[in-house]
Structure 1
Amino acid sequence: MSTTLKSEVVSAGEKSPVFVSWIDFHGRSEGIARTLGINEWSEGGGAGPLPLRYLRLWTSTWKYLRSAKPSAVIVMQPPVVALLAVRAAVGKNVRICGDLHTGTFHDPKWKWSTKLVARLLGGSNLAIVTNDSLAGKVRKQGAEALVLHDLIETYPDVESLGAFDDPALAPLVDGKYVLVPITYSYDEPLYELAAATHLAPDVSWVFTGRPPSTFVDACNPDNTVFPGFVSREEYLRLLGHANVLLAPTTEEETMQRAGYEAMCAGKALVTSDTAVLKDFFGEAALTVPPQADRYASAVRKAAHLQAEFEKRITELRTDRVYEQSKALARLSEWIHGDD
Structure 2
Amino acid sequence: MSTSLTSGAIAAGEKSPVFVSWIDFHGRSEGIARTLGIREWSDGGGTGPLPLRYLRLWTSTWKYLRSQKPSAVIVMQPPVVALLAVRAAVGKNVRICGDLHTGTFHDPKWKWSTNLVARLLGGSNLAIVTNESLAGKVRNQGAEALVLHDLIETYPDVDSLGAFEDPALTYLVRGSYALVPITYSYDEPLDELAAATHLATDISWVFTGRAPKDFVEACNPANTVFPGFVSRDEYLRLLGHANVLLAPTTEEETMQRAGYEAMCAGKALVTSDTDVLKDFFGESALTVSPEAERYASAVLEAAHRQAEFEKRITELRTDRVYEQSRALARLSEWIHGDD
TM value normalised by structure 1 = 0.97
Q: Which runs of 5+ in 1 are unaligned?
A: 1-6
> Could you tell me whether the CA contact under 8 Å between 2:97 and 2:127 is conserved in 1?
yes
What is residue 112 of structure 1 aligned with on the other side?
Answer: 112
Deviations 1:13-57, CA, capped at 9 Å, x for gaps: 541000000000000000000000000000100000000000000
Equivalent residue, structure 2, for 1:3: none
Amino acid of the structure 1 residue aligned with 2:171: P
Q: Deviations over 1:195-227 (max 9, x none)?
A: 000000111000000010000000000000000
Offset from partner CA, 1:209-256 (integer Å, 9 cap, x none)? 001000000000000000000000000000000000000000000000
Match of 2:139 in 1: 139
In the TM superposition, what whole-angstrom CA distance separates every residue of 1:146-195 from its partner, at most 9, and x where no partner exists? 00000000000000000000010000000000000000000000000000
Distance in 1 between residues matched to 2:240 and 2:9, nearest whole Å: 34
Q: Which residue of 1 aligns with 2:129?
A: 129
Map 1:63-102 to 2 at 5 A.
63-102=63-102
| Distance in 1 separating the partners of 2:101 and 2:188 | 15
Matching residue's letter, 1:234: E
**2:10–2:38: 8 Å Cα contact kept in structure 1?**
no
Point out where structure 2 has 5 or more consecutive residues left out of the alignment: 1-6
Give the letter aligned to residue 228 of structure 1: G
Superposed CA RMSD: 1.1
Equivalenced residues, count: 334
Contact 2:196 2:295 in 1 (8 A): yes
Partner of 1:180: 180
- Where does residue 4 of structure 1 map in the other structure? none
Match of residue 192 from structure 1? 192
CA contact (8 A) 2:13 2:68 kept: no
**TM-score, normalising length: structure 2:** 0.97
Corresponding residue of 2:3: none
* AA matched with 1:86: V
> Are residue 205 (structure 1) and residue 202 (structure 2) matched?
no
**Structure 2 residue aligned with 1:237:** 237
Residue 309 of structure 2 corresponds to which residue in structure 1?
A: 309
How many angstroms apart in 1 are the aligned matches of 2:128 and 2:324? 13
Aligned partners of 2:30 and 2:249: how far apart in 1? 23
Q: Secondary structure at the match of 1:55?
A: helix
Cα deviation, 1:78-113, whole Å, max 9, x if unaligned, reads: 000000000000000000000000000000000000
Find out whether 1:156 has 2:144 as its counterpart. Answer: no
**Relative to 1, partners in 2 of residues 1:220 and 1:123: Cα closer, same or farther, differing over 3 Å?**
same
Matched residue type, 1:279 = D
Distance 1:262 1:246 in 2: 9
Question: What is the distance in 1 between the residues matched to 2:257 and 2:10?
Answer: 31
Q: Is the 8 A contact 2:135 2:147 kept in 1?
A: yes
Shift of 1:12: 6.5
Partners of 1:259 and 1:110 in 2: CA distance: 23
Give the whole-Å Cα distance in 1 for the aligned partners of 2:305 and 2:207. Answer: 22
Moved over 6 A (4+): none
